[in-house]
Amino acid sequence: MTASVLQNQIKHNEDKLRSLQLGGHVGFDTLPDQLVTRSVDAGFVFNILCIGETGIGKSTLMDSLFNTTFESNPVPHSLPGVKLKSHTYELHEGTVKLKLTLVDTIGYGDQVNKDDSFKAIVDYIDAQFEVYLQEELKIKRNIATYHDTRIHACLYFICPTGHGLKSIDLVCMKKLDSKVNIIPIIAKADTISKPELEKFKAKIMNELVSNGVRIYRFPTDDETVADVNSSMNNLVPFAVCGSTDFVRVGNKMMRARQYPWGTVQVENEAHCDFNKLREMLVRTNMEDLRETTHIKHYEVYRRHRMEQMGFSDVDSDNKPVSFQQTYEQKRQMIQQEMAQREEEMRQQFVQRVKEKEAELKESEKELNSRYERLKKDHAEEKRRYEEAKRQLEEEQAEFLRRKRQCQSSSSSSLPGHHTLTLKGKKK
Ligand SMILES: Nc1nc2c(ncn2[C@@H]2O[C@H](COP(=O)(O)OP(=O)(O)OP(=O)(O)O)[C@@H](O)[C@H]2O)c(=O)[nH]1
Ligand SMILES: [Mg+2]
């Protein structure tokens, strides 16, 4: 069935849709409850990526956000490149299970040349999308039980310099803004004064806008959270601080940082925006962050990869094509390519055989002519020896003849001294 026929059929069915009144209670109004029960049983997955320079307070903020102690070791400043490290934890709050993955950058901003600092991060995010895509493309896929490692929220830790963003911040955020939900935060905000902080925030936002960096905006389309989200959007980047130390405030132990001149309470809204960040990230918009990751960022990645594989929803004339048609087209293309390559290889083989044959013939000719030459030389040599032999035999016969002549003349002459001179060479 072609795509256009299918679309027509769906439209036809929609046109036929009629709204009916029920005669009594049926029970499908419990669907939302069924959904909640099912989701609670399955548990939730949330993945946070923390990008920030070494020692900027990433681990401390995560401990403060989830009010626990995650494993972390301070990282040296001497690493040659940026790496990413992930840890997965299972957290329980009431009946709700949360599988939380925290991914940390290691060695970020420590290199002399920071041009490529973003690469490892981009690669990590893409790798998580790729794993998900491969699972989706499997014949026997397990999406329901699959551990989704795609990054849902990226907390970008900005140094509290009061001056604005560094180029590494802008470059990195620009590279990531189409791949992940970026939430910029000003780290160690207790080190910056209140008037300075307002100016700093405005400057950061201006720089982000003028460089076209798209950060995550809390959604304002759901009216239950529209007001709070739009007011929180105005507070971005949140100025946060974290701590692993506690002080007693009233009858409660609170996370705080103590200084000779006073105490900074992490959860005190007059001291920093930590509470607002937690409210937005964990309590109000966790589901939106997960959804945006799936329907916006993953969709971009998936589309790009499918196009890379040669799939498309429309053909060159902008007419809809189905997956099946593209697949058939692709298969034919590959088969043609294979046949062409086979033919090329066959021709190459024939050519090589011909060349080899010619080479062999040439060397056979060479051998034959050498054999003939040797045969001729041998015959010549033989003839020379025969000649020499014949001469020798003649001389031998001559010698014997003379010897006999000599003997006969010496026996017939008187005794005395005679000298006999032989002609010719002695052999
Ligand atoms: N002033 C101030 N200091 C902080 C804050 N958060 C953390 N620190 C301190 O900064 C230091 C580094 O904190 P970490 O949380 O280990 O920083 P990190 O970014 O995880 O460091 P690496 O993992 O080593 O890169 C510690 O001494 C913390 O006490 C903060 O909000 N304000
Ligand atoms: Mg750390």
Secondary structure (H, E, C), 187-254: CCHHHCCHHHHHHHHHHHHHHHHHCCCCCCCCCCCCHHHHHHHHHHHCCCCEECCCCCCEEEECCEEE
Nearest CA to ligand 1 atom 12: 55
Question: How many angstroms does the Cα of residue 74 sit away from the middle of ligand 2?
Answer: 6
pLDDT digits (tens, 9 = 90+) for 375-420: 999 999 999 999 999 999 999 999 999 999 999 888 776 555 555 5
pLDDT value, residue 310: 79
Helices then strands, counting H and E runs in the chain, come out as 11, 9
Alpha-carbon distance 267 to 254, whole Å? 7
Question: How many angstroms does the Cα of residue 97 sit away from the middle of ligand 2?
Answer: 24
Closest listed ligand to the CA of 71: 2
Task: Indicate the average pLDDT of the chain.
Answer: 89
pLDDT value, residue 113: 81
Atom of ligand 1 minimally distant from the CA of 72: 23
Question: How many angstroms does the Cα of residue 370 sit away from the middle of ligand 2?
Answer: 83
The length of the chain, given as a count of residues: 427
pLDDT at 14 over 80: no
Atom of ligand 1 minimally distant from the CA of 54: 25
Closest listed ligand to the CA of 188: 1
Question: How many angstroms does the Cα of residue 374 sit away from the middle of ligand 1?
Answer: 94
**Residue closest to 305 by CA, chosen among 171, 131, 143:** 131
Q: What does the pLDDT average to over 83-99?
A: 93
Nearest CA to ligand 1 atom 32: 188
Phi, psi of 188 (to 5 degrees): 45, 50
* Cβ(188)–Cβ(135) below 8 Å: no
pLDDT digits (tens, 9 = 90+) for 333-353: 899 999 999 999 999 999 999
Going by the DSSP 8-state scheme, the letter that residue 147 receives in this structure is -
Alpha-carbon distance 68 to 202, whole Å? 32
Which DSSP helix (H) or strand (E) runs through 379? helix 323-412
Closest listed ligand to the CA of 259: 1
pLDDT at 207 over 90: yes
For a ligand 1 pocket test, name from 48, 49, 56, 60 the mutation site with the most ligand atoms within 8 angstroms of its C-beta: 60
| Residue ranges lining ligand 1, Cβ < 6 Å | 52, 54-60, 72, 74-75, 188, 190-191, 241-242, 257
pLDDT value, residue 427: 43
At residue 368 the predicted structure's pLDDT band, cuts being 50, 70 and 90, is very high
pLDDT value, residue 6: 63
The answer to whether domain 39-308 has CATH 3.40.50.150 is no
Q: What does the pLDDT average to over 109-132?
A: 91
Alpha-carbon distance 125 to 414, whole Å? 134
Question: How many angstroms does the Cα of residue 64 sit away from the middle of ligand 1?
Answer: 11
Which DSSP helix (H) or strand (E) runs through 133? helix 117-137
Question: How many angstroms does the Cα of residue 178 sit away from the middle of ligand 2?
Answer: 26
What is the reported pTM? 0.77
> Which residue pairs from 395-403 have beta carbons closer than 8 angstroms and sit at least 24 positions apart in sequence?
395/424, 395/425, 395/427, 396/427, 398/423, 398/424, 399/424
Question: How many angstroms does the Cα of residue 84 sit away from the middle of ligand 2?
Answer: 11
pLDDT at 5 over 90: no
Alpha-carbon distance 17 to 7, whole Å? 16
Atom of ligand 1 minimally distant from the CA of 191: 1
Q: What does the pLDDT average to over 139-160?
A: 93
Lowest mean pLDDT, pick from 36-50, 64-78, 332-346 = 64-78
Alpha-carbon distance 67 to 49, whole Å? 18
